[in-house]
């Protein structure tokens, strides 16, 4: 009779590296992250309307809002084109 091999089970995530894996949850807040990101973009763009005289503040606000919006769009594209869902 041939000896039987036992299958070795291995966790994918080491609990020492990521403590949340120990109690079962390992993920992120997908919809909340997107919602808060777009809320921040809208708030930054709303700050353009103000009582300041120069346009330097406007350039910074629009630049930061565009950067965050670009990151959010990249995140959406990355999630859609991901091979693993």
Residue matched to tokens 């809208």: 42
Mean pLDDT of 2-11: 60
Domain boundaries, the chain: 29-80
- Confidence tier at 8 by pLDDT (50, 70, 90): low
For residue 53, the model assigns a pLDDT of 83
Q: What is the pLDDT of residues 31-50, one digit of tens each?
A: 889 999 999 999 999 999 98
Q: With 70 as the cut, is the pLDDT of residue 64 above it?
A: yes
User: What are the Cα distances from residue 64, in Å, to 1, 22, 59, 70, 77?
Assistant: 70, 37, 8, 10, 20
For residue 15, the model assigns a pLDDT of 58
């Amino acid at each position: 009779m041939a000896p039987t091999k036992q299958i070795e089970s291995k966790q994918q995530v080491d609990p020492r590296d990521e403590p949340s894996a120990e109690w079962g949850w390992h993920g992120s807040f997908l919809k909340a992250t997107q919602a808060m990101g777009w809320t921040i973009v809208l708030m930054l763009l709303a700050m353009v309307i103000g009582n300041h005289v120069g346009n330097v503040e406007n350039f910074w606000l629009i630049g930061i809002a565009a950067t965050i919006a670009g990151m959010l769009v990249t995140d959406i594209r990355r999630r859609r084109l991901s091979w693993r869902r």
